[in-house]
Amino acid sequence: MAKIALITGVTGQDGSYLAEFLLEKGYEVHGIIRRSSSYNQERLEELLTEEEAKTILNNSNFHLHYGDVTDALNITRLINEIQPDEIYNLAAQSHVRVSFDMPGYTLDVDGKGTLNILEAVRVLGLTEKTRVYQASTSELYGKVQEVPQKETTPFYPRSPYGVAKIYGFWITKNYRESYDMFAVNGILFNHESERRGETFVTRKITLAAARIAQGKQKKLLLGNLESLRDWGYAKDYVECMWLILQHNKAEDFVIATGEMHSVREFVELALKHVGINIEWQGNGVDEKGINLATGEVIVEVDPTLFRPAEVEQLLGDPTKAKTLLGWNPTRTSFEELVSKMVKSDMAKVSNEETNRKMFDGVLV
């Protein structure tokens, strides 16, 4: 019989890749979607060929249910009806900058939402049947205590998002230890893709590069250019979520590439891919990126985009995942990742209308 998986956050970047991955493995996949006044299933279709779209949205093994992880009754009812073998809890208010504006909401979704799932599994008597994957994050490390960061590195979160996710991490571990549940954390470092949300820095940059190259945007406004991140490819990372749940022991794993780059490097490389070379002038909050061919300012630092507390650098050590899960962290290199994202945005932008107001503005 086919295994049954339930994915929260199925409309997000990772949820859409994971749904595809599990359907290809023959799973019956259930996803929770939020009611929205506008259509929110693009990622379950976008970038797929017509043929592929048939296999996902029209796949008879794929089922969508309305729900919200903050609604414990709804989550309990759904888990009872679906009786999943595996739950992937990917639902989150996942934007670190936004979590400073909405700390309470972020806690409700990212912290209490995790508890609602674990508690539902427990009260429904599914602790032996259902394995739970919790989407933990490198943001737990925050103000770095050790480089590179591994499973034993102490946490020091630097945002309401990180603090809420720490609750998710520990309550998952606590349910594992208290009730002998297979409940595990994947501590994933940043991972990006053509489907990355447009307000995360990598996608903001690749969209801007495409629009600037096609004359549809004048300037890219950014915050901290010096942040260092360990950026992987989302499609490679969803396989780890699955591998972590298939492992013979319930354990937590760091998933990362082991390579670190700055936001500045990402900008330079993305622009290079569209044929633009820049030079930097000024520094700190006055810094500007000048198009060497035209002399125009095309990148500008905007102080309002800095965070109240920043995570300066993240570098993961995926040795445990490599050794115990046989996972290869370097499948998609940094250069390939940037190239894939720019290529995809060049195609998307060519169908866009010009002069949409938000382009030079305040995407967080």
Judged by beta carbon distances under 5 to 8 A according to partner kind, the member of ligand NDP, ligand GDR, none in contact with residue 328 is none
Judged by beta carbon distances under 5 to 8 A according to partner kind, the member of ligand GDR, ligand NDP, none in contact with residue 199 is ligand GDR
Closer to ligand NDP by CB, 32 or 208: give it. Answer: 32
Amino acid identity, residue 131?
R
Judged by beta carbon distances under 5 to 8 A according to partner kind, the member of ligand NDP, ligand GDR, none in contact with residue 297 is none
In the annotation, is 172 catalytic? no
Q: How far is CA 121 from CA 87, 118, 181, 212, 242, in A?
A: 10, 5, 9, 49, 19
- Give the integer Cα–Cα distance in Å for 90 and 125: 22
Instruction: Choose among 71, 173, 172, 183: nearest CA to 126.
Output: 183
The residues with which 31 forms a beta bridge, in sequence order, are: 7, 64
Q: b/e per residue, 142-151, with b = 16+ CB within 10 A?
A: bebeeebbbe
In the annotation, is 335 catalytic? no
Which 61-120 positions form the footprint of ligand NDP (CB under 6 A)? 68-70, 90-94, 109, 113
Interface residue with ligand NDP among 40, 83, 145, 178 (CB under 6 A) is 40
| 10 DSSP assignment | T
| 196 DSSP assignment | S
The residues with which 281 forms a beta bridge, in sequence order, are: 288
Judged by beta carbon distances under 5 to 8 A according to partner kind, the member of ligand NDP, ligand GDR, none in contact with residue 229 is ligand GDR
- Which DSSP string do the residues of 312-363 spell out, in sequence order? -B--B--HHIIIII---TTSS-HHHHHHHHHHHHHHHHTTSPS--GGGGS--
Closer to ligand NDP by CB, 137 or 153: give it. Answer: 137
Q: For helices 13-24 and 234-246, what crossing angle results, to 10°?
A: 60
Closer to ligand NDP by CB, 94 or 217: give it. Answer: 94
Judged by beta carbon distances under 5 to 8 A according to partner kind, the member of ligand GDR, ligand NDP, none in contact with residue 90 is ligand NDP
In the annotation, is 161 catalytic? yes
| 69 DSSP assignment | T
Nearest approach, Cβ of residue 306 and ligand GDR (Å): 7
> Which stretch, 8-16, 262-270, 298-306, 319-327, contacts ligand NDP (CB under 6 A)?
8-16
Which residues belong to the active site? 137, 139, 161
Residues that bind ligand NDP (CB under 6 A): 8-9, 11-15, 32, 34, 36, 40, 68-70, 90-94, 109, 113, 135, 137, 188, 190-191, 197
